[in-house]
Amino acid sequence: MPNTAEPTVGEISSRITQELAPTRFACSSLVPLSGGTANFIFKATLVKPLEDGTSDVVVKHGEGFVAQHPSLKLSTLRCAVQKLPQATNQFCSVRTPGLLHFSPDSSTLVQEYMPDSLNLKSYALRHFSPSTPESEKPNVLEVGRALGKWLRSFHDWAASPEQEALRSRVRLNKEMQGIKITYNYERLLSLLEKFPFLEDWKGVFEDIIAKVNAEVADESQLQIIHGDFWTGNILLPDAEIKPDRQVPLFVIDWEMCQLGMRPLDLGQMIAELYEITLYKDIKAGLWMIEGFLNGYGFVDDDFAYRTALHVGTHLVGFGTSVPGWGTPEQVELVAKTGRDIILRAWETDRCWFEDHDLAPLFQAGSIDDALK
């Protein structure tokens, strides 16, 4: 019988080395990096540095399946979407890593490497704590604000008529839409046994799932979104944030790029930042949410409720499933917090949100006052 097993990391590493050997990105070593659910990611040391002295790069290779879950087949189309706009202010620069080389035939990509970096989740857990003083808040607000401005600029750029060809390509990423619905929404029903206090709301969850499926069916209401915009896909240097030094941030991993609702990108990031506060009692998570929403700018109430709905489903579905995040009691608290957000968003209860940690969703301009 033919061997149908998917290639191993070692086999893919060898394949990449051979592929890049005749190019200026020939590498002397490939070291696997953590992360990259839908790609194999390596730090590559080049045989010969580039003209600007660069000796280390990131090599990403996309197979027709998810890197950490070989049984889940995906289109290699996801690797084609990488060059995107950047946003810069005096405090932060936010952009995608520079694209140095891409082979669409093999889905091998070479991009800029940020040395001594952490993803935003790891950075927050290392550099912030429950005792982080209020004096640090302005710096944290600005990081969040920069991310929000970048996301708004990306959404606006991707929605422009000039990107119709990109939209046509991203439209083909149907698998990604299905993954989003399955793990963020349909999964709610599978958690009823684990969290019995959700059982009373089964009917609401079913209505929400129906709404989400209807959204996806109406492509005229969908736009290009990142699809996996969370703290794990933002890189920054492992160094103290200081107002006199511009902080570079990289937005990475575009494999989940799809046609979807803009609020999904905001909701996922907000939920992940909120988990830092809920599990670790780190106020910087809320500060960054505040900055992020202010940076994104004005949204109407419908947008805000849809964002909050996604925050809630992400807390219940993903926020309760990360090993080592917290105690069983904390996990239950996060599930109940997510449930409450889901129900209040579904009921469009603005008064409830105005007294909640997610109040910045409905309070444009709160950061400007705080920074005066």
User: In the block, which residue shows the tokens 């008064």?
Assistant: 351
Pair 185, 331 in one domain: yes
In a domain, 20, yes or no: yes
Please indicate, yes or no, whether residues 73 and 204 belong to a single structural domain of this protein.
no
The pLDDT value given to residue 86: 67
pLDDT at 96: 86
Residues 206 and 327 in one domain: yes
User: What ranges make up the beta strands (E) of the chain?
Assistant: 27-32, 40-46, 56-61, 65-66, 69-73, 87-88, 92-95, 99-103, 108-111, 117-119, 223-225, 234-237, 247-251, 258-260
Residues 271 and 315 in one domain: yes
Q: Has residue 296 been placed in a domain? A: yes
pLDDT of residue 131: 96
Scanning the structure block, which residue is given the tokens 């059982």? 199
Q: Are residues 261 and 220 in the same domain?
A: yes
- Quick one: pLDDT at residue 12? 86
Do 64 and 146 lie in one domain? The reply is no
- Specify the pLDDT at position 91: 78
List the strands of the sheet with 234-237, edge to edge.
87-88, 92-95, 247-251, 234-237, 117-119
Question: Would 360 be classed as within a structural domain?
Answer: yes
Distance CA 152, CA 319 (A): 25
Q: Is residue 357 part of a domain?
A: yes
Could you tell me which of 254, 258, 253 has the C-alpha nearest to residue 171?
A: 258
Tell me: do 228 and 269 sit in the same domain.
yes
Is 92 within a domain? no
Residue 91 lies in a domain: no
Residue 27: domain span? 1-86+97-113
Residues 26 and 131 both lie in one domain: no
Task: Flag whether 356 is in a domain.
Answer: yes
Partner residues linked to 185 by β-bridges: none
The domain total for the chain is 2
Task: Please check whether residue 283 is in contact with residue 291, taking contact to mean a CB–CB distance below 8 angstroms.
Answer: no
Q: Are residues 109 and 121 in the same domain?
A: no
Nearest to 207 by CA among 192, 185, 180: 185
**Looking at residue 230, what is its pLDDT?**
97
Distances (CA, A) of 21 to 7, 8, 61, 75, 348: 20, 20, 15, 26, 57
Global pTM value: 0.89
| Residue ranges for the chain with pLDDT beneath 50 | 1, 71-81, 365-372
Same domain, 225 and 357: yes
In terms of DSSP bridges, do strands 247-251 and 92-95 run parallel, antiparallel, or are they unpaired? parallel
Q: What is the pLDDT of residue 364?
A: 57
Residue 353 lies in a domain: yes
What CATH number corresponds to the domain at position 39?
3.30.200.20
Are 109 and 257 contained in the same domain? no
pLDDT per position as a tens digit, 277-333: 999 999 999 999 999 999 999 999 999 999 999 999 999 999 999 888 999 999 999
Q: What CATH number is attached to the domain comprising 205?
A: 3.90.1200.10
